[in-house]
Amino acid sequence: MLVVMKKHATEAQIQQVEHRFAEWGIPVQRISGVERTAWGTLGNHRPFDPDKIAVLDGVDYVHQVTEPYKLANRSFHPADSTIRIRDVEIGRPDEVILMAGPCSIESEAQINTVAAIVKESGAKILRGGAFKPRTSPYSFQGLGEPGLKLIRAAADRYDLLVVSEVMDKSQLPLMQDYVDIFQVGARNMYNYDLLKELGALPKPVLLKRGISATLEELLMSAEYIMAGGNPAVILCERGIRTFENYTRNTFDVSAIPTLQARSHLPVIADPSHGVGIREYVPAMARAAVAAGAHGLLVEVHPDPDQALSDGVQSLNPAQFLMMIDQCRQIAAAMGKQL
């Protein structure tokens, strides 16, 4: 971090900045120019709030030289991180992990039918929401605990893991017994209280990018979970809101290599929410695999037109299986298994 004083800063103001760094135990190198004084912080010091320096009298600006996220940063952890849950390892360079299932768990028959198709596709993880963050309070809100029981039983029947969304920290004690991976949805990427609680739990977290979040903000949200002591974070690109309205969201393929360059955490793609229209989902899934995603999160429903949520973007079983076959060929061309 670089701290630069104003041209006519007084000696007392300069002393105050030095005093503050000394108080916090942050090593700095002072640069005394002809007109200005500046400091560079040295080494891998403990994090501090740059605003606490920026507000001091006489300070002109504070420039962040390195990224504000440390634990999620590839600079401090050059090797890829992988996350192991039973015999599934997410983040391997030679495998694309498939997570698929309905948007919402709706009934025993629905989740069992989907689980069978998901298994047939070669996927290792069954998705399905029991707590649904819907834009309208009048839309289906999810089955809650009965839904969690259904998805757990269906996953166990087909030897699959379960990923399901947690909307509020009050749901964590209940959900712990049913899910293998907690999903944090796009709407909750900024729910720092929830992220802190997840940091204290021994379970992986699939963290989705907010609809208007920069990649740095996503990585800072990952940092919250990691700073709490939980290193098992999976990043997920799920489309962002742009001026385009022919698609529900704009799927940001560039987020995949960019996140992988900046961070050692696994990066997966959700082409279903990413584009939001069934017809275009396979193309986005293929693009995500070609871009190097460590995994895919896909919505599939036995009868999408009757789905209680996100039917418009859900694939039917035949479309889903055909798409996975195409993705598998792309993965193979890249020397990866799917």
Can you give the binding site for ligand PEP, defined by CB under 6 A? Answer: 103, 129, 133, 185-187, 208, 238, 273
Q: How far is the CB of 285 from Mn ion (least distance, A)?
A: 15
The residue (of 14 and 268) whose beta carbon lies closer to ligand PEP is 268
Q: How far is the CB of 221 from ligand PEP (least distance, A)?
A: 13
Cβ–Cβ under 8 Å, residues 179 and 208: no
Strands (E), the chain: 2-5, 28-32, 37-41, 59-63, 83-85, 88-90, 97-101, 125-127, 161-165, 181-184, 205-208, 233-237, 267-269, 295-299
Q: Which does 185 bind (CB under 5 to 8 A by kind): Mn ion, ligand PEP, none?
A: ligand PEP
Q: Which does 278 bind (CB under 5 to 8 A by kind): Mn ion, ligand PEP, none?
A: none
Query: Alpha helices of 46-200 — where are they, by DSSP H?
Result: 51-54, 108-120, 145-157, 172-176, 192-199
Q: How far is the CB of 322 from Mn ion (least distance, A)?
A: 21
Q: Per the structure block, which two tokens stand in for 272?
A: 């279903």
Is residue 103 at the binding interface for Mn ion, with CB under 5 A as the rule? yes
Q: How far is the CB of 13 from Mn ion (least distance, A)?
A: 53
Cα distance between residue 5 and residue 58, in whole Å = 6
159: left (phi over 0), alpha (psi -120 to 50) or beta: left
Positive or negative CA dihedral for 220, 136, 281, 152?
positive
Q: How far is the CB of 205 from ligand PEP (least distance, A)?
A: 13
Q: Per the structure block, which two tokens stand in for 168?
A: 């509020």
Is residue 130 at the binding interface for Mn ion, with CB under 5 A as the rule? no
Q: How far is the CB of 103 from ligand PEP (least distance, A)?
A: 5
Q: Which does 124 bind (CB under 5 to 8 A by kind): Mn ion, ligand PEP, none?
A: none
The residue (of 38 and 256) whose beta carbon lies closer to ligand PEP is 256
Cβ–Cβ under 8 Å, residues 191 and 211: no
Please name which of 116, 121, 125 lies closest in space to residue 158, comparing C-alpha atoms: 116
The residue (of 106 and 310) whose beta carbon lies closer to Mn ion is 310
Q: Which residue is nearest to ligand PEP (CB)?
A: 185
Q: How far is the CB of 131 from Mn ion (least distance, A)?
A: 12
The residue (of 141 and 230) whose beta carbon lies closer to ligand PEP is 141
Q: Which does 186 bind (CB under 5 to 8 A by kind): Mn ion, ligand PEP, none?
A: ligand PEP
Q: Which does 133 bind (CB under 5 to 8 A by kind): ligand PEP, Mn ion, none?
A: ligand PEP
Site for Mn ion in 24-83 (CB under 5 A): none
Report which residue type is found at 116: A
Site for Mn ion in 258-317 (CB under 5 A): 310
Strands (E), 6-160: 28-32, 37-41, 59-63, 83-85, 88-90, 97-101, 125-127
- Location of structure tokens 């809650």: 144
Query: What residues line the site for Mn ion (CB under 5 A)?
Result: 103, 310
